[in-house]
Amino acid sequence: MRDELVRAISDMEEDEALRLCAAWLAAGGDPSEVLDAAKSALGIVGERYDAREYFLPELIIAGDLMRDIAALVKPHLADADEPRPARGRVVIGTVAGDIHDIGKDIVIFMLEVNGFEVVDLGVDVPAEAFVERVRETRPAVVALSGFLTLAFDQMRLTVQALVDAGLRSGVKVMIGGAIMDDDVRSYVGADAYGSDAQAAVRLATAWIG
């Protein structure tokens, strides 16, 4: 079952994947094996995304499948599944005045697939909210997302707010969004910019390990 399930998920065969899960669970199979297979499949999806075989459509479908599989498995689990130790924590949000979330959500998906713990502050996040959550959760990385050009100034304000709060030296700051480049990075005072979700993973890996 395991190999078939891994293949069905990673090849985007939604109906087949859910059928296999349901059949396995109905026959009294171990629910943790289903979760384990799903995690392996997710790793393959991430690899194919890295290799530019998969794009956003496949990440969306994989995300939906994970939700559906988790719902199928949940009633069969005795206790909560053991939480996997995270590689490190990333606080992420779209800066104030900007309500775009698609790019940010791709980055979250890829960071989580790669074992990072992500604290998602959502969209239109004021600088103070970043400061508050950084103080509270002590992440290694702060990721600022923005699609609009107004994000240039908002990101700069947010980084400055981290400096003012004495938190800047404890975190690495990455920025991302369609129009980010090295000039923007320098204007904002971030440590790095990423042009896509793989870049976010590479940066977090380099910084956290």
In the complex, the smallest distance separating the C-beta of residue 77 from another protein, rounded to whole angstroms, is 28
Q: Could you give the residue ranges of the DSSP H alpha helices within the chain?
A: 2-10, 14-26, 31-50, 56-73, 102-113, 127-137, 151-164, 182-188, 197-208
Tokens of 191: 């440590």
In the complex, the smallest distance separating the C-beta of residue 174 from another protein, rounded to whole angstroms, is 17
Of 91, 102, 99, the closest CA to residue 144 belongs to 91
Is residue 139 classed exposed, middle or buried when 0-12, 13-18 and 19+ CB atoms within 10 A define those classes?
Answer: buried
In the complex, the smallest distance separating the C-beta of residue 180 from another protein, rounded to whole angstroms, is 9
User: Is 131 or 151 the residue whose CB approaches another protein more closely?
Assistant: 151
Q: CA torsion angle for 37, 43, 48, 54 (degrees, to 10)?
A: 80
User: Is 140 or 188 the residue whose CB approaches another protein more closely?
Assistant: 188
**Phi, psi of 90, rounded to the nearest 5 degrees:** -125, 125
User: Is 141 or 180 the residue whose CB approaches another protein more closely?
Assistant: 180
In the complex, the smallest distance separating the C-beta of residue 104 from another protein, rounded to whole angstroms, is 12
* Footprint of another protein (CB under 8 A): 12, 14, 52-58, 60-61, 64, 97-100, 102-103, 106, 148-150, 152-153, 178-179, 181, 183-184, 187, 195-197
In the complex, the smallest distance separating the C-beta of residue 103 from another protein, rounded to whole angstroms, is 7
User: Is 97 or 115 the residue whose CB approaches another protein more closely?
Assistant: 97
Tokens of 136: 């509270």
**Residue 27 DSSP one-character state:** T
Tokens of 51: 């290799």
Cα–Cα distance measured from residue 5 to residue 8, given in angstroms and rounded to the nearest whole number = 5
User: Is 77 or 150 the residue whose CB approaches another protein more closely?
Assistant: 150
In the complex, the smallest distance separating the C-beta of residue 199 from another protein, rounded to whole angstroms, is 11
User: Is 137 or 149 the residue whose CB approaches another protein more closely?
Assistant: 149
